[in-house]
């Protein structure tokens, strides 16, 4: 039986756990962002996204993939904010 890995086709891509799937990170970021307003919210958001991007780059994530991860993370946080506000409205 032929083993393709033995002929020099080793995978050189690293798989990263998607930021948008890191539930605790998404929830924590949404709650923190919801508690900030104005320039404090902008500063928090920029520093959070930059730190996550830097973390991915340091782990060897290609820049294009890092940018896509950050965009997906931003969308997940936005959805979480929407759910947080819906829950607040439902409580009264």
Evaluate whether residue 63 is within a structural domain.
Answer: yes
What is the distance between the terminal CA atoms of the chain, rounded to a whole angstrom?
A: 65
Q: Is the pLDDT of residue 74 over 90?
A: yes
| Rama region for 3: left / alpha / beta (φ>0; ψ in -120 to 50; rest) | beta
| Domain assignment present for 85 | yes
Rg (CA), the chain: 18
Is 87 within a domain? yes
Q: How many domains does the chain have?
A: 1
Average pLDDT, the chain: 87
* pLDDT above 90: residue 69: yes
In a domain? residue 26: no
Range of the domain at 65: 37-92
- pLDDT digits over 21-46, tens only? 999 999 999 999 999 999 999 999 99
């Amino acid at each position: 039986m032929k083993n393709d890995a033995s002929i020099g086709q080793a995978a050189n891509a690293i798989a990263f756990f998607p930021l948008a799937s890191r539930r605790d990170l998404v929830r924590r970021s949404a709650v923190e962002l919801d508690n900030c307003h104005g320039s404090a919210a902008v500063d928090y958001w920029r520093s959070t996204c930059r730190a996550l991007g830097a973390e991915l780059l340091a782990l060897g994530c290609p820049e294009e993939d890092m940018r896509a991860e950050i965009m997906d993370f931003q969308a997940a946080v936005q959805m979480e904010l929407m759910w947080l506000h819906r829950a607040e409205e439902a409580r009264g």
